[in-house]
Chain A
């Protein structure tokens, strides 16, 4: 399906076309909209960017990865986050592929095809913001925007070997962003380095404060570091364990801490997502069922009929978890955990082995991000240096509204070489 033609937009540039024909990161590109007449600063002058196709872009239909949205009228305004980036001088180059309605972790879109991982074309770029992550990892744009409800920025950042950021819940204006689960939805950027990640985050956030600078003589920067144990150590493949333990070894004073009921919280998040997602798309299910992709529609339909008791239990688990987690994590400025339980799976891979058990691949990729999302805390997904093999990411989490501290700590770790984007692949 030629979405660019559908939207009346320019075709891709020759370079973009060649590389993106391989990756399938973009759903539409735009060569004509560069500097906005409303540009108010030059903070991001010279930078190019792309946005997941659930952001409103003036003149384009917001697809959210679904054929059911193709007949919607073009957006009349840019989403607030898009507008702020353009006002800061950045040049919008296009919209990117995603899982339908952002409900997935692999960006294997039935209508628009799978986005391939730039580091291994047979593998998934992760999802649901896979197109945005792949576009940055391949150097097609300088940075991009994604969204994260259960890990949809952190998982693809990990698989593609770049930086991604899920800011504090509610700290970014979501106007013009197609919603999935409003109580869990976040928006945030992908970037190839911590400095650009912080810069773009600051532009899209409503009011990000400042953090003190790190003590450069200390690996921990003078901050109190926690390492999530238990559930977050159990659900790791060998590659992920090796890479994360290598990072953890750099913090001899860090304390391992168990987050009680993380597994229960993951089940609760699974239920809440299924149920609220089903309700969110109930009308489309009733009126447009056949146009929702197989693989998406049956999950949404199953979510629509979740028994009330099960959902009430899930909300109770979330309340209990939040109460406990706040006190457990209070003694730390920064908490570390793997971003994903494994490296990028093969496209179409149905099952994988984790902790000695065969588990469904797609549903399991968010095992380590899903329990943390309800906390609403700022979390960077940062790439770990991996000499051979596929990229691995680590979650760097702070307290709510401490976004600047998390970003500053990430920059500090990057300066010391403990986190680093994967080398750009030759495509």
Chain B
């Protein structure tokens, strides 16, 4: 996700969740969100198993 898309997503998601913050604050949140996305990227291939034994 490029920087502009990231900032756009973060801004919209914050408002949708009732959080209204300054641009500076939004920038700091975006930085943390990037870190979260980096971890999400590492496990993006995780898929629910179709095997009932593996779904316990």
Which residues from chain A sit less than 8 Å from chain B, CB to CB?
A: 263-264, 267-268, 270-271, 274, 282, 285-286, 289, 294, 297-299, 301-307, 310, 312-314, 316-317, 319-320, 323, 363
Contacts and interface: CB of A to CB of B under 8 A. Distances in A.
A314 B46 CA distance: 8
Task: Identify the 3 closest CB pairs spanning chains A and B, nearest first.
Answer: A305-B13, A302-B32, A310-B40
A297 B25 CA distance: 9
A271 B33 CA distance: 10
Contacts of A312: 48
B36 A301 contact: no
Contact of A320 (B14, B21, B33, B49): B49
Q: Is the interface of B mostly helix, strand, loop or mixed?
A: helix
Interface string B9-50: 110011001110100010011111101110110111011110
Given A302-B10, A302-B36, A314-B43, 4 more contacts: A264-B42, A304-B19, A310-B36, A313-B40
Interface residues on B, range: 20 to 34
Nearest to A275: B36
16 contacts: A267-B39, A271-B40, A285-B19, A286-B19, A297-B25, A298-B28, A298-B32, A302-B29, A302-B32, A302-B36, A303-B36, A305-B17, A314-B40, A314-B46, A319-B54, A363-B35
B28 to A, nearest CB: 4
Nearest to B30: A302
A319 B43 CA distance: 13
Interface of B: 9-10, 13-14, 17-19, 21, 25, 28-33, 35-37, 39-40, 42-44, 46-49, 54-56
B42 A267 contact: yes
B19 A298 contact: no
Contacts of B19: 285-286, 289, 301, 304
A301 B29 contact: yes
Contacts of A319: 49, 54-55
Contacts of B46: 264, 313-314, 316-317, 320
A313 B44 contact: yes
A285 B25 CA distance: 12
Contacts of B42: 263-264, 267
B23 to A, nearest CB: 13
B32 A286 contact: no
A274 B30 CA distance: 14
Nearest to A324: B54
A264 B35 CA distance: 15
B43 A268 contact: yes
Contacts of A264: 42-43, 46
B40 A302 contact: no
A314 B36 CA distance: 11
A84 B23 CA distance: 49
Nearest to A299: B32
A323 B46 CA distance: 14
Given A305-B10, A317-B43, A270 B36 contact: yes
Nearest to B10: A305
